[in-house]
Amino acid sequence: MESSEGSRQEEEKPWRVLEFYSGIGGMKYSLMRGAVNATVVEAFDINDVANDVYEHNFGHRPYQGNIQTLSAADLDRYDADAWLLSPPCQPYTRQGLQKGSSDARAFSFLKILELIPQISRPPLILFVENVVGFEISDTHTKMLEILSENHFVTQEFILSPLQFGVPYSRPRYFCLAKRKPLSFQNPQFNNELLWAPGPLLGSDGCMVISEGEQSHGCCDKLLQACQPIKEFLELKNFRDEDLDSCIANVSETSDEVEEGNRSVSCPLNQFFVPSSLVERWGSAMDIVFPVSKRCCCFTKSYYRYVKGTGSLLATNKGTTKDKISKVEDLRLRYFTPREVANLHSFPDDFQFPHHISLRQRYALLGNSLSVGVVAQLFRYLFTNQSR
């Protein structure tokens, strides 16, 4: 009886977590949303602006030194059970130089992994998030080699918020790793890269193990199950006459939006796309409507540039995606930072400090993660494991 009770109490102990590359707190919010019994004992990020946001929301400022300077002794002091890592994605993006491990921005991640065999109590759990493309990089190969040598089993996913009912196309790579004797609930997927969330949801529906196996029928079902974009908007009840007033005040002519030049008398004024930009780039814009069930990924350059950085919202109630006249008549606007945060599934009480500029807010969100997706992964990763 005593051993049984002791085991139960041991299982109830919170996981001690280290949050590397913590950004604006997406990992910590995911732990909370996933109802994981965990305590973040330290967060690490070199970006002072991101740390301002993290501190504003959680009351704790992350460690701001260079992660590469951390030693095995430093990490041992935290006595952590789990490491959560969202390292820089630039070495692996399709638009970048794809230098992988030879890119200086990859060095700190590899340094952290190389410390695993050097510490007295290696983590039991490891979680990595990055862009699609990481899975074919030499950094990925080195990561799996290190994890295997240190007795970890892995399951990998490429998932998008679209697969969880959110009308947002943002596929990302995820690696879930557990050190033996811990194991996954579905060990049949060990060493597999899955493109669907079946194991997380307890379902084999749309279970695909490669990008090429994804069917149009499965994708159609995903889109049908998504909520419309209008459910994620913060300015739903803005009157048409107010829109007309806002549009009349928008007069910028540059293809790069200069923050601070717009009138703030209207809460939406700074988010409308100037007509000159619509005329110049309209054919290259990804335009969505409140009833749409999909929008494109917002990058860190959203609002600064209109081409290839994320979707723009048509606000003219007289037009629909099936009935478009002139692009100029759609009254296009940028999604607000709060709306981008909503599509990333950040909670309602998430806030930016007042001193964080609009551009900085978009950049920080563009570098963040989908809380809704990661929360599901965390539920799966941390569930039913004794220590």
Pair 327, 312: CB distance under 8 Å: no
Phi, psi angle pair for 45, to nearest 5°: -160, 140
Residue 11 clears pLDDT 70, i.e. is over it = no
Q: How many CB atoms lie within 10 A of CB 23?
A: 22
**Ramachandran sector of residue 150 (left: φ over 0; alpha: ψ -120 to 50; beta: rest):** alpha
Structural tokens at position 276: 């000159």
Bridge partner list, 194: 157
C-alpha 290/C-alpha 306 separation (Å) is 19
Contacts made by residues 377-380, CB under 8 angstroms, sequence distance 24+:
377/30, 377/34, 377/127, 377/157, 377/159, 377/174, 377/176, 377/200, 378/30, 378/31, 378/34, 378/36, 378/127, 379/34, 379/35, 379/36, 379/200, 380/176, 380/184, 380/185, 380/199, 380/200
- Dihedral sign for Cα 287, 289, 294, 298, please: positive
Side-chain-side CA neighbours of 57 within 13 Å: the count stands at 20
C-alpha 295/C-alpha 362 separation (Å) is 16
SS3 for 168? Answer: strand
Q: What is the DSSP letter of 332?
A: E
Of 111, 53, 35, 90, nearest to 43 by C-alpha is: 53
372 pLDDT band, cuts 50/70/90, is very high
What integer pLDDT is reported at residue 210 of this predicted model?
A: 47
Structural tokens at position 284: 């290259």
355 pLDDT band, cuts 50/70/90, is very high
C-alpha 109/C-alpha 205 separation (Å) is 34
Structural tokens at position 245: 């007033």
Q: Tally helices (H) and strands (E) across the chain.
A: 13, 10
158 pLDDT band, cuts 50/70/90, is very high
Q: Taking the chain, what is the end-to-end CA distance rounded to the nearest angstrom?
A: 18
C-alpha 182/C-alpha 124 separation (Å) is 8
Residue 196 clears pLDDT 90, i.e. is over it = yes
Of 319, 351, 327, 311, nearest to 229 by C-alpha is: 311
Over residues 304-346, the pLDDT tens digits come to: 988 889 999 998 876 565 555 688 889 899 999 999 999 999 9
Residue 10 clears pLDDT 60, i.e. is over it = no
pTM comes to 0.87
Q: Pairing relation of β-strands 15-20 and 38-44? A: parallel
Structural tokens at position 251: 């007069």
* For range 275-289, the mean pLDDT: 90
* For range 79-97, the mean pLDDT: 83
More confident residue, 200 or 264: 200
Cis before 181? omega within 30: yes
Residue 247 clears pLDDT 50, i.e. is over it = yes
C-alpha 33/C-alpha 19 separation (Å) is 16
Active-site positions read 89
Which of 102-106, 244-248, 311-315 has the largest mean confidence?
A: 311-315
